[in-house]
């Protein structure tokens, strides 16, 4: 363990997380230390995308990111409010298209797509969005509704 606190800003709120072991994953810090259960654990190997969060606006696999590697970072989880316009936009598209079933993978998809919208300045082509979402797995929906949500994001008036 280390006594040095790791400063994180999560969804706009400053945290100083103490006694973080060196190998602790950001996923575990968010879920177990900060109580943010919206970030899901799927594969623990970066293959499913369920654990995606935004670190300084970029989609990041929190199961492969050590908490000690992101001190001072701005972390965005699915629990963020409407102040993150990109996350709100993707959430709305998913809701309008019914792009969820059990919802386990939904936070990862939403934050992956929002990360791309942050990078692209709110505009992204259908192909870019689909490519970004390609790293996220869903076992329930068959992807048709997710593809419709992506198409809505690509064509809606910005």
Tokens of 87: 């996350």
Q: Give the start-to-end residue ranges of the domains of the chain.
A: 6-76, 85-155
Instruction: Give the single-character DSSP code of 40.
Output: P
pLDDT value, residue 60:
98
Crossing angle of helices 106-120 and 126-133, in 10° steps, is 140
Instruction: Give the single-character DSSP code of 143.
Output: S
Q: What angle do CA 13, 18, 22 make, to 5 degrees?
A: 115
Per-residue pLDDT at 123 exceeds 60: yes
Domain 6-76 is classified in which CATH homologous superfamily?
A: Beta-grasp domain (3.10.20.30)
**Residue 124's pLDDT band (cuts 50, 70, 90):** confident
- Comparing CA positions, the residue from 47, 67, 49, 68 lying closest to residue 114 is 49
pLDDT value, residue 158:
53
Instruction: Give the single-character DSSP code of 156.
Output: S
Q: Determine what percent of the chain is predicted with pLDDT higher than 90.
A: 84
pTM of the model as a whole: 0.93
Classified by CATH at the fold level, domain 85-155 comes out as DNA polymerase; domain 1 (1.10.150)
């Amino acid at each position: 363990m280390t006594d040095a606190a790791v400063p994180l800003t999560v969804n706009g709120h400053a945290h100083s997380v103490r006694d973080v072991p060196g190998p602790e994953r950001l996923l575990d810090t968010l879920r177990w230390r900060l109580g943010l259960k919206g970030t899901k654990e799927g594969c623990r190997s970066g293959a499913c995308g369920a654990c995606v969060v935004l670190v300084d606006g970029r989609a990041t696999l929190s199961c492969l990111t050590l908490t000690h590697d992101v001190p001072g970072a701005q972390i965005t989880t699915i629990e963020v409010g409407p102040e993150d316009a990109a996350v709100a936009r993707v959430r709305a598209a998913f809701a309008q298209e019914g792009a969820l079933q059990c919802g386990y993978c939904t936070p990862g998809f939403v934050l992956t797509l929002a990360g791309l919208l942050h990078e692209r300045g709110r505009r992204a082509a259908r192909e870019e969005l689909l490519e970004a979402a390609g790293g996220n797995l869903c076992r329930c929906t068959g992807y048709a509704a997710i593809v419709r949500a992506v198409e809505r994001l690509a064509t809606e008036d910005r």
